[in-house]
Amino acid sequence: FRAERCDIYTDVDGVYTTDPRITSKARKLDRIAFEEMLELASLGAKVLQTRSVELAMRYKVRLRVLSSFEDNDEHAGTLVCDEEDIMEWNVVAGVAFSRDEAKMTLLSVADRPGIAAAIFGPLADSGVNVDMIVQNISEDGRTDMTFSLPVNQVGRARKAIDEAKASGDINYAQLVTDEDVAKVSVVGIGMRSHAGVAAQMFSALRDEGINIKVITTSEIKVSVLIDRKYMELAVQALHDTFGLELVA
């Protein structure tokens, strides 16, 4: 349609630094970059679907998130736009979280070429969405392989791994599953030019006595897997650590 902007009406009045139900300090963002919104949407923020942000980013159509229940003027809501249209970037734009996570570990897997493909190939063929992956240091030719996945796919994943073991494609001592974990992430395009975000994040979690089980990073995000019971505390602590109550 060659539209300059697409207004999306939802049950909230914009994109917030995190879920206001978790912390009253959450603030509505005036603007957020496509890349940041895409990361937040994929990491658990439910304001926009990932596909809508992908399309807007590809065709460079700005999105404006507005409330269906309020009178909106020209400056209402949150504008999702190209990062070039944002005058001042926040190092961290938001904290996302997902409660519906699980962690699976294959203990004492043979450490040989192709073992990762032998594990994750059948998982992919079974439609399991593997996210974080950690392989421990090899000892005596054996290693542990840990990965996270949606909790509702645990049964499917276990079946795929059991079948791979039965066929002789993989061999391991034990399959351990933890279905009581959550993923918490900080996102911001400012991370590209500011060092130390991960260290700040890890220090904040340490100060709250929260143990990190798995870590994954990208250019503009850091995600950790933690015990689900600490999820809200982690979100609140990270929101405070990065001063997101001052973001606009």
Domains of the chain: 5-87 (3.40.1160.10)
Percent of the chain surpassing pLDDT 90: 77
Cα–Cα dist 181/231, whole Å: 8
Tally of helices (H runs) and strands (E runs) in the chain:
6, 10
pLDDT digits 0-9 by tens, 38-65: 999 999 878 888 999 999 999 989 999 9
The pair of structure tokens assigned to 181 is 């974990």
**Residue 248 predicted with pLDDT over 70:** no
pLDDT digits 0-9 by tens, 171-208: 999 999 999 999 999 999 999 989 999 999 999 999 99
pLDDT digits 0-9 by tens, 85-131: 887 778 999 999 999 999 999 999 999 999 999 999 999 999 999 99
pLDDT at 1: 60
Q: What is the pTM of this model?
A: 0.91
Tally the residues of the chain: 248
pLDDT at 247: 78
In the three-class reduction of DSSP (H, G, I as helix; E, B as strand; rest coil), residue 168 is classed as coil
Pick from 13-22, 80-89, 92-101, 239-248: least confident: 80-89
Burial 42-69 (b: 16+ CB within 10 A, else e): bbbbebbeeebbeebbeeebbbbbbeee
